[in-house]
């Protein structure tokens, strides 16, 4: 594997990932600032991507968004989604029992990428979407992956430190690592208001052998997170974990079906 990526190719992929996570679109300036690349360098890339319909340019708002070309490529991937289909059936059962949102995420370069979601019928619920990315250190999903890493590896993932999203976000590496060691013992990760102060989340990892392929979680507005609901969610997630991991083994699920990169 190459230790350094091809810069222009990396920028194309960064742009696609960025636009996938910003459904309202972004201007050229916003894209340039987000991926830390000069506008003069990315403009030819963006023009080509727009011409090939991988991104769409709105002439009225001057904003770029994901295009039909990207959708077509994604659709080709979904034709081989047996593992995710099985997981989603289990997610629907969890939502039926808890009436709270259930999500699945994968680990990608220090972030969690949300790859599946089943909403609840509650009028007040967590707002999220497939394709969203968040730093792993402040999400229950992400902590299930980080708990397998050393403190040195975690610091390498976040060379600029742990950014605070709320007053409850853990920004001290040592405090985070202490929590991760407990998660490694219980295989249950929690997050209480670290991304959104009005919500909490519980998650478990999904293993195949010694590798975590994905993680599954339930998110709940804080005012509904009772002790009874917390215990119910933990019980359902652990039961589901066993079912999904059995599916992984019996169907020899390849990590490429669920992950982008380690």
pLDDT band at 212 (very low <50, low <70, confident <90, very high): very high
CATH of the domain at 134: 3.30.450.40
Q: What is the pLDDT of residues 129-180, one digit of tens each?
A: 788 899 999 999 999 999 999 999 999 999 999 999 999 999 999 999 999 9
Domain boundary among 18, 44, 72: 72
Verify that 163 and 207 share a domain, yes or no.
yes
Q: Left, alpha or beta for 209 (phi > 0: left; psi -120 to 50: alpha)?
A: left
Verify that 48 and 143 share a domain, yes or no.
no
In 62-139, which ranges are continuous DSSP H helix? Answer: 68-78, 82-98
| 125-130 contact pairs (CB < 8 A, 24+) | 125/100, 125/101, 125/221, 126/100, 126/101, 126/196, 126/199, 126/219, 126/220, 126/221, 128/101, 128/103, 128/219, 129/23
pLDDT at position 7: 87
- CA torsion through residues 25, 29, 30, 35, sign: positive
The answer on pLDDT for 259 being more than 50 is no
The answer on pLDDT for 229 being more than 50 is yes
Domain annotation covers residue 212: yes
Angstrom distances, CA of residue 171 to CA of 125, 175, 179, 261: 27, 8, 12, 25
Verify that 52 and 87 share a domain, yes or no.
no
How far is the C-alpha of 253 from the C-alpha of 262, rounded, in Å?
16
The answer on pLDDT for 102 being more than 70 is yes
Domain boundary among 30, 55, 72: 72
pLDDT at position 23: 77
Q: Left, alpha or beta for 245 (phi > 0: left; psi -120 to 50: alpha)?
A: alpha
Domain annotation covers residue 123: yes
Verify that 66 and 188 share a domain, yes or no.
no
Domain annotation covers residue 18: yes
Give the three-class secondary structure for 1. Answer: coil
Verify that 55 and 161 share a domain, yes or no.
no
For residue 64, give its domain range. 7-72
Domain annotation covers residue 33: yes
**Would you state the structure tokens that stand for residue 1, as one six-digit string?**
């594997």
Verify that 60 and 130 share a domain, yes or no.
no
CATH of the domain at 62: 1.10.10.10
Verify that 225 and 199 share a domain, yes or no.
yes
- Residue 111 sits at φ, ψ, to 5 deg, of -115, 160
Domain annotation covers residue 99: yes
Verify that 111 and 217 share a domain, yes or no.
yes
Verify that 159 and 111 share a domain, yes or no.
yes
Domain annotation covers residue 262: no
Mean pLDDT, the chain, integer:
89
Cross-strand partners of 199: 221
Q: What is the largest CA-CA distance in the chain?
A: 56
**Would you state the structure tokens that stand for residue 43, as one six-digit string?**
């403009």
Verify that 181 and 87 share a domain, yes or no.
yes
Core vs surface per residue 134-169: b (16+ CB within 10 A) or e: bbbbbbbbbbbbbbbbeeeebeebbeeebeebeeeb
Find the helix or strand (DSSP H, E) in which 49 lies. Answer: helix 39-51
Domain boundary among 72, 93, 113: 72
Q: What is the pLDDT of residues 17-66, one digit of tens each?
A: 888 878 789 999 999 999 999 999 999 999 999 999 899 999 899 999 98
Cross-strand partners of 125: none
């790859």: which residue's tokens? 115
Verify that 27 and 109 share a domain, yes or no.
no
The tally of domains found in the chain comes to 2
Predicted TM-score (pTM) of this structure: 0.71
How far is the C-alpha of 242 from the C-alpha of 72, rounded, in Å?
33
Domain annotation covers residue 2: no
- Residues, the chain, total? 262
Quick check: 172 and 162 in contact, CB under 8 A? yes
Domain annotation covers residue 64: yes
Verify that 106 and 40 share a domain, yes or no.
no
């Amino acid at each position: 594997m190459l230790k350094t990526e091809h810069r222009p190719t990396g920028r194309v992929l960064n742009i696609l990932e960025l636009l996938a996570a910003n459904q309202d679109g972004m201007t050229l300036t916003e894209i340039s600032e987000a991926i830390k690349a000069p506008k003069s360098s990315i403009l030819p890339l963006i023009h080509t991507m727009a011409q090939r319909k991988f991104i769409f340019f709105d002439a009225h708002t001057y904003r770029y968004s994901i295009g039909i070309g990207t959708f077509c490529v994604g659709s080709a991937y979904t034709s081989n989604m047996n593992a995710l289909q099985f997981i989603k059936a289990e997610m629907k059962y969890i939502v039926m029992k808890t009436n709270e949102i259930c999500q699945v995420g994968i680990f990608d370069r220090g972030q969690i990428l949300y790859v599946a979601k089943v909403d609840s019928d509650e009028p007040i619920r967590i707002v999220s979407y497939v394709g969203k990315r968040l730093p792993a250190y402040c999400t229950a999903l992400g902590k299930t992956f980080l708990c397998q890493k050393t403190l040195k590896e975690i610091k390498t993932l976040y060379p600029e430190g742990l950014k605070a999203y709320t007053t409850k976000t853990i920004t001290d590496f040592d405090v985070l690592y202490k929590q991760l060691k407990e998660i490694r013992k219980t295989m249950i990760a929690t997050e209480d208001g670290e991304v959104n102060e009005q919500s909490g989340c519980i998650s478990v990892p999904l293993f195949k052998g010694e590798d975590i392929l994905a993680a599954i979680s339930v998110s709940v507005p804080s005012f509904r997170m009772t002790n009874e609901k917390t215990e119910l969610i933990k019980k359902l997630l652990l039961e589901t974990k066993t079912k999904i991991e059995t599916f992984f083994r019996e169907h020899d699920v390849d990590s490429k079906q669920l992950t982008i990169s380690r």
